Amino acid sequence: MKFEEFVKAAFVKMIYEVIQADGKVHPGELEILNDLKKTLGFDDAFLERTKKLDYDNALVTLYNIPHEQKKALVNILDEVAISDGSVHKKEMALIIDTFINIGLGEETE
């Protein structure tokens, strides 16, 4: 699935937030991040720029994307959360908050 640059930036921001949620960056998380660089089409410079994005602005962007893209984000964040072998409670809380804040579940398919 192709994403506009501003949507991709919001995705990458949320991916990085999940990776950082438990205060540790695990090797499995770095591995999935590298895989996502290829899949989504971004590089280290893009990642560094997205780290500086405002979290709330990223949520607004994600709230306004189509349902199919929200489902893609769900799959990506789940994959990132489990990539280190367990889902930390801070990762789960962040993911649930993200899904609520972007209106996931409000739409009908």
Supply the DSSP string of 46-107, one letter for each residue.
Answer: HHHHHHTS-HHHHHHHHHTS-HHHHHHHHHHHHHHHHTTSS--HHHHHHHHHHHHHTTTTTS
Residue 67 within any structural domain of the chain: yes
Mind listing the pLDDT tens digit of every residue in the chain (109 residues)? 788 999 999 999 999 999 999 999 999 999 999 999 999 999 999 999 999 999 999 999 999 999 999 999 999 999 999 998 889 999 999 999 999 999 987 655 4
Residue 107 within any structural domain of the chain: no
Domain that holds residue 22: 5-101
In degrees and rounded to multiples of 5, residue 96 shows phi and psi of: -60, -45
Residue 108 within any structural domain of the chain: no
Instruction: Please tell me the total count of domains within the chain.
Output: 1
Residue 106 within any structural domain of the chain: no
The CATH number given to whatever domain includes residue 25 is 1.10.3680.10
Residue 109 within any structural domain of the chain: no
pTM of the model: 0.89
In degrees and rounded to multiples of 5, residue 12 shows phi and psi of: -65, -35
